[in-house]
Amino acid sequence: MSDDLTTTAPDAPTTPPPAAGRRLGSAPPARLLDSGERLGLGELRAEQLRRLRETLHHAYTNIPLYRRKFDEAGVRPEDCRSLADLSRFPFTTKADLRETYPFGMFAVPMDRVRRVHASSGTSGRPTVVGYSERDLDMWADVVARCIRAAGGRPGHKVHVAYGYGLFTGGLGAHYGAERAGCTVIPASGGMTARQVQIIQDFRPEIIMVTPSYMLTLLDEFERQGIDPRTTSLRIGIFGAEPWTERMRQEIEERLDLHAVDIYGLSEVIGPGVAQECVESKDGLHIWEDHFYPEVVDPLSDEVVTDGATGEAVFTSLDKEAMPVIRYRTRDLTRLLPGTARPAFRRMERVTGRCDDMIIVRGVNLFPSQIEEIVLGTPGVAPHFQLHLTREGRLDRLTVRAEARPDATPERRAAAASAITQAVKDGVGLTVDTEIVDPETLERSVGKIRRIVDERDRG
Ligand code: DLL
């Protein structure tokens, strides 16, 4: 382990406390910060406004959809005289990207688009995103910044187990790690037994992977008789799906590493919009010199004040091939003041998307609430699914959680009633809990599917 990972930063905020026995990771030394990270707040705000005005102009001039939407809303790019004026401009949604499929949101001629990515989405056409050479450069820079903030340093080996391909995770992490001066192991997702062998043989310090696939890898280590705490891994950069503080504890304890959160979405850039700093582990600093955040009330569409929870909305500030104005992420969070990087606001960990909210008999529920409960229950493994069924006109929710291999029948029964009771007390919903045998629930190789909706199956 390098010194940088073990030295405690002198002035590091300490919420929440690190897992027992583990020292906090350290902030990058000043010489490793890039020019954007060195901006003071005044300089940052001035630069944001300059870039925002340019972006609005670029989008209006080169993307017919934006020209139409701005015209319909009666706004022109020059109406933006302050950052607050952004709220006068229309939102962009996934439906806009679908409408212009595949390349209608591109603002540069195709011969300047160096790469495309796409996200499959839950229904219909995928959404396609494009990058110019300069965009790819900026993307690598922001992901490199994320890796440094996570405690990564030049010379570290980074095992990338995000999927490579149209998904932005693999290639986004890959070029960022190279930019950070690291050695990349481009493992991609899947072939779990081989991933474990590669980690054992190549001895990476860092792993970048979805938290749910990390759990799959952890089980595989144990299946092969390897204590995961003895591996070379010291930093895990986890994202692409919601995860909780409980999951952080579980992973940090089983692996003896620093688990930090990385956030992003294809429409805005991919991974690298925001990153949790290892020295504070207190939410994700948004790289505001490139992505301007707002939080809106998902029902009224009004911008809420910093500190209030709502839907995150991002505007790209220096993207060429596909600028996005006020992109509605569906991700629920709130904006908080900067800490480890004082000029950049933080976003609270995203524990749910508007789309993931399940409404059962009038009660709203996010899978992350169940994750907190399942992971806090003795005798059950951190693997669970939510099954929704309909009996007559009533919806029923069954929590299916996996027993730990050593759990006795009594322990399993106690765990089932403990989960049912905790959901009743914490969420206000009556659910059934089934504790199923070890290794029976579907495992993740990328983003996990938590909800199995069987309500329309008659
Ligand atoms: O998931 C980009 C990414 C790759 C981020 C690798 C981090 C690491 P999409 O496939 O477009 O892009 O999915 C974006 O994933 O709107 C969130 O709902 C969710 N998401 C991403 N990061 C987090 C996170 C990538 N840290 C969607 N916490 C987003 C919770 C996340 N949800």
- Residue-wise pLDDT for 112-138, tens only, equals 999 999 987 656 788 999 999 999 999
The region of weakest confidence among 160-174, 259-273, 351-365, 377-391 is 351-365
pLDDT band at 457 (very low <50, low <70, confident <90, very high): low
Q: What is the DSSP string of 186-242?
A: E--S--HHHHHHHHHHH--SEEEE-HHHHHHHHHHHHHTT--GGGSS--EEEEESS-
Q: Distance from the CA of 323 to the center of ligand 1, in angstroms? A: 19
Protein residue whose Cα sits closest to atom 1 of ligand 1: 240
Residue 332 has pLDDT above 50, yes or no: yes
Confirm or reject: Cβ of 262 under 6 Å from ligand 1: yes
Q: Distance from the CA of 175 to the center of ligand 1, in angstroms? A: 17
Please give the pLDDT value at position 25. 80
Between CA 366 and CA 130 the distance in angstroms is: 32
Protein residue whose Cα sits closest to atom 30 of ligand 1: 242
346-379 pLDDT, tens digit each: 999 998 999 889 999 899 999 999 999 999 999 9
With beta carbons less than 8 A apart as the criterion, state whether 341 and 101 touch: no
Q: Distance from the CA of 286 to the center of ligand 1, in angstroms? A: 14
pLDDT band at 21 (very low <50, low <70, confident <90, very high): very low
Q: Distance from the CA of 3 to the center of ligand 1, in angstroms? A: 31
Residue 1 has pLDDT above 60, yes or no: no
Confirm or reject: Cβ of 351 under 6 Å from ligand 1: no
Ligand 1 atom with minimal separation from the 267 CA: 11
Please give the pLDDT value at position 71. 98
Q: Distance from the CA of 265 to the center of ligand 1, in angstroms? A: 5
Confirm or reject: Cβ of 169 under 6 Å from ligand 1: yes
Query: Which residues in 45-58 are b (16+ Cβ under 10 Å) and which e?
Result: eebbbebbbebbeb
Look up the pTM and report it. 0.94
With beta carbons less than 8 A apart as the criterion, state whether 437 and 407 touch: no
Q: Distance from the CA of 434 to the center of ligand 1, in angstroms? A: 29
Closest CA to 441 of 451, 430, 453, 427: 451
Q: Distance from the CA of 331 to the center of ligand 1, in angstroms? A: 9
Please give the pLDDT value at position 124. 72
With beta carbons less than 8 A apart as the criterion, state whether 305 and 247 touch: no
In the chain, DSSP finds a helix count (H) and a strand count (E) of 11, 21
Please give the pLDDT value at position 5. 44
Confirm or reject: Cβ of 168 under 6 Å from ligand 1: yes
Confirm or reject: Cβ of 210 under 6 Å from ligand 1: no
Protein residue whose Cα sits closest to atom 15 of ligand 1: 240
Confirm or reject: Cβ of 119 under 6 Å from ligand 1: yes
The tokens for 298 are 């998902």
The tokens for 87 are 């709220």
Residue 339 has pLDDT above 90, yes or no: yes
Q: Distance from the CA of 271 to the center of ligand 1, in angstroms? A: 7
Test site for ligand 1: of 350, 371, 445, 450, most ligand atoms within 8 A of the Cβ: 350
Please give the pLDDT value at position 125. 83
The region of weakest confidence among 48-57, 179-188, 390-399 is 390-399
Between CA 4 and CA 29 the distance in angstroms is: 9
Residue 328 has pLDDT above 70, yes or no: yes
Instruction: State mean pLDDT over 293-303.
Output: 97
Confirm or reject: Cβ of 217 under 6 Å from ligand 1: no
Q: Distance from the CA of 416 to the center of ligand 1, in angstroms? A: 31
Residue 420 has pLDDT above 90, yes or no: yes
CA distances from 394 to 34, 83, 330 (A): 56, 47, 27
Alpha-carbon torsion, ordered 127, 130, 136, 138, to 10 deg: -80
Instruction: Give the chain's radius of gyration (CA, Å).
Output: 22
Residue 79 has pLDDT above 60, yes or no: yes
With beta carbons less than 8 A apart as the criterion, state whether 209 and 238 touch: yes
Ligand 1 atom with minimal separation from the 353 CA: 18
Q: Distance from the CA of 241 to the center of ligand 1, in angstroms? A: 5
The region of weakest confidence among 12-26, 97-111, 118-132, 179-193 is 12-26
With beta carbons less than 8 A apart as the criterion, state whether 139 and 169 touch: no
pLDDT band at 189 (very low <50, low <70, confident <90, very high): very high
Between CA 142 and CA 263 the distance in angstroms is: 11
Confirm or reject: Cβ of 189 under 6 Å from ligand 1: no
Between CA 315 and CA 444 the distance in angstroms is: 31
The tokens for 4 are 């940088």
Q: Distance from the CA of 95 to the center of ligand 1, in angstroms? A: 18
Confirm or reject: Cβ of 371 under 6 Å from ligand 1: no
Confirm or reject: Cβ of 276 under 6 Å from ligand 1: no
